[in-house]
Amino acid sequence: MKFKKFVVFLVFFVSLFFSGAAFAKIGIISTQQANFLIKTQNNVIVIDTRSKQNYLHGHLPKAINLTENEILVSQENELGLMPYNNQLEKIFSAYGLKRNATYIVYSGENYDNSARFIAQAAWIISALYWSGIKDIYYMDGGFEKWKSEGLPVLIGNYSLPKSHFTIEYNPGNILAQKSFLLWVINNENTIQVVDSRSRKEYLEGHIKGAKWLYAGDFLEKINNYWVIKPKNTIENLFLKEDIDINKPIISYCQSGHLSSVFWFIANAIFDKQSVWSFCGTFKNLQKQNKVPINIGPIC
């Protein structure tokens, strides 16, 4: 028991040391707030996470096009994971990204799939944060909400001059490596484990003891776009699924994309520094027989 408490304390210490003031703000802003920032601030970089085709048909002023598919690598036979630092540096340099800029990230596709709608942006946000960028904002409602309000839309490509992006270190309060998750599984009741996949996937097989909350349940549809639900509604979602947002959590899915939504919501709305997204795939865990799997509801 003393060893368990020591490890949990150590995890907290490391996460707080590599976060705090050094990694300032992950937030949610409205389309009007985004428009104001773009108009009044010079050091703002806007990232459109939609497909190239949709981007070229119209996007926010000064928005570059960077999709989640461009920030994916294979590690140890697992697809769709966060790139290594040297790979991220190369990608971000090619797109002209800077460490000290303020970022606005938005989506605007997958109108029939709320989880995919926000996951496109959440994955990019997690990559920016993992790389040491301080101020990152998600524009709620995405491109369709922007367009419906009559805000300016540009056609065609927009790019920034290449930069020399470097990563000094990675914050400890975002990605949970496999060794961390396995320790948590083998030491039950130390840290909550939450499955962010669909209910169907969860019932077909999940990590023993894992609670469930679908990443798409954080959003509600208005007209033809998705917006994040009010804080009190999300609090009720946690309560319904017996998830304590005030205690440490590791979220997982098939590739870290849906679990990055859980991490984003915990940070942007609840300012929680002890929530991690598993850097790996549930499928690979099953293949390696490294974790006990349950079928059906939590037990």
**What CATH number does the domain containing 67 carry?**
3.40.250.10
Lowest mean pLDDT among 8-17, 34-43, 76-85: 8-17
Same domain, 57 and 143: yes
- Is the pLDDT at 10 greater than 60, yes or no? no
Q: Which pLDDT belongs to residue 11? A: 44
Q: Which pLDDT belongs to residue 75? A: 65
Same domain, 91 and 207: no
pLDDT tens readout for residues 131-180: 999 899 999 999 999 999 999 999 999 999 999 999 998 998 999 988 89
How much is the average pLDDT of 207-224?
95
Q: Give 298 or 181, the one with higher predicted confidence.
A: 181
- Is the pLDDT at 216 greater than 80, yes or no? yes
Q: Supply the mean pLDDT for the chain.
A: 89
User: Percentage of the chain surpassing pLDDT 70?
Assistant: 88
Within a domain: 6: no
Q: Give 16 or 226, the one with higher predicted confidence.
A: 226
Pick from 148, 183, 202: which residue ends a domain? 148
- Is the pLDDT at 94 greater than 90, yes or no? yes
Within a domain: 166: no
Same domain, 81 and 132: yes
Same domain, 144 and 193: no
Range of the domain at 89: 22-148
Same domain, 278 and 200: yes
Q: Which pLDDT belongs to residue 286? A: 77
Which phi and psi angles does 182 have, rounded to 5°?
Answer: -65, -40
Same domain, 131 and 234: no
Q: Give 269 or 11, the one with higher predicted confidence.
A: 269
Within a domain: 17: no
Q: Give 50 or 189, the one with higher predicted confidence.
A: 50
Same domain, 51 and 120: yes
- Is the pLDDT at 16 greater than 50, yes or no? no
The pLDDT-based confidence of 56 (bands split at 50, 70, 90) is: very high
Within a domain: 3: no
Within a domain: 260: yes
pLDDT tens readout for residues 246-294: 999 999 998 889 999 999 999 999 999 899 999 888 888 777 766 787 8
- Is the pLDDT at 102 greater than 90, yes or no? yes
Within a domain: 161: no
The pLDDT-based confidence of 298 (bands split at 50, 70, 90) is: low
- Is the pLDDT at 12 greater than 50, yes or no? no
Pick from 113, 148, 183: which residue ends a domain? 148
Residues 6+ apart with CB under 8 A from 195: 201, 202, 206, 207, 210, 211, 212, 213, 251, 252, 253, 282
Within a domain: 64: yes
Q: Which pLDDT belongs to residue 294? A: 85
Are the CB atoms for 250 and 191 separated by under 8 Å?
yes
CA distance 94 to 159: 10
How much is the average pLDDT of 169-197?
91
- Dihedral, 48, 51, 57, 62 alpha carbons, nearest 10: 20
Q: Which pLDDT belongs to residue 23? A: 40
How is residue 129 written in tokens? 């944060």
Q: Is the pTM of this model over 0.85?
A: yes
Within a domain: 34: yes
* Helix ranges, 106-177 (H): 114-130, 142-148
Number of structural domains the chain divides into: 2
Same domain, 196 and 86: no
Q: Taking every pair of C-alpha atoms in the chain, what is the biggest distance, in angstroms? A: 60
Q: Which pLDDT belongs to residue 229? A: 98
Q: Are strands 73-75 and 78-81 parallel, antiparallel or unpaired?
A: antiparallel
Q: What share of the chain is helix, strand, coil (3-state, %, to 5)?
A: 40, 20, 40
Same domain, 179 and 247: yes
Pick from 148, 164, 198: which residue ends a domain? 148
The pLDDT-based confidence of 21 (bands split at 50, 70, 90) is: very low
Lowest mean pLDDT among 80-84, 111-115, 122-126: 80-84
Same domain, 139 and 188: no
Same domain, 31 and 143: yes
Same domain, 180 and 139: no
Exposure letters 278-289 (e unless 16+ CB within 10 A, then b): bbbbbebbeeee
